Amino acid sequence: MEGFDAIYYENEEENSAEDVEHAEVTLVPDPVIIRGAGNMTVFGLSNRFCVEFPSGLVSRVAPEEFKETVLRINSVLKKTLPVNVKWLFCGCLCCCCTLGCSLWPVICLSKRTQHSLNKLLEWENSYLYHKLGLHWRLSKQHCDSSSMMEYVILIEFLPKIPIYRPD
């Protein structure tokens, strides 16, 4: 019974160790990468992306919403890439005569395609995916088999904001 009424003081070192243990660390999973699945690539941009639902998005987004977004992306690519290929073919034919200047229209059209895809993904993010804690973007990465670059769709997970923790 001696120690029943005694007051004990904890070391400050123990308190700081407990604070570290109780600190909330939000771990963000690795992003999901969707590679091009088409049979034609112009300046690293494939003519379509696969609509197969990746396992990393299970319980984060509905498969139907994912499929609709990828179909919208594919429809933009379907409209723009055939024109890019025609200009690329014409530019390659005239390349020797124009000292390479005939390839400028293809480069500008490719930039326009990337810009329209980025605008589409920005719209999708603002209206749907940011609310679900996801962020879609078009990203340039190395191909698996070679040192060439390709455009992929990168789906990143946004960290959750701890709203219950005081400032």
Q: The whole model's pTM is what?
A: 0.74
- Number of domain units in the chain: 1
Domain that holds residue 114: 26-157
Give a yes or no: residue 19 inside a domain: no
pLDDT averaged per 10 residues in sequence order, the chain, 167 residues: 61 50 64 88 86 91 94 92 78 76 79 93 94 93 82 90 70
Give a yes or no: residue 113 inside a domain: yes
Q: Which two tokens stand for residue 101?
A: 């200047």
How far is the C-alpha of 117 from the C-alpha of 137, rounded, in Å? Answer: 9
pLDDT score of 42:
81
Give a yes or no: residue 121 inside a domain: yes
Determine contact, residues 49/66, Cβ cutoff 8 Å: no
Give a yes or no: residue 16 inside a domain: no
pLDDT score of 30:
87
Give a yes or no: residue 137 inside a domain: yes
pLDDT score of 88:
76
Give a yes or no: residue 63 inside a domain: yes
DSSP lists the bridge partners of residue 49 as: 36
Phi, psi of 25, rounded to the nearest 5 degrees: -110, 120
Return the SS3 of 142.
Answer: strand
Give a yes or no: residue 85 inside a domain: yes
pLDDT score of 12:
47
**With the C-alpha atoms ordered 138, 140, 141, 143, is the resulting torsion angle positive or negative?**
positive
Give a yes or no: residue 21 inside a domain: no
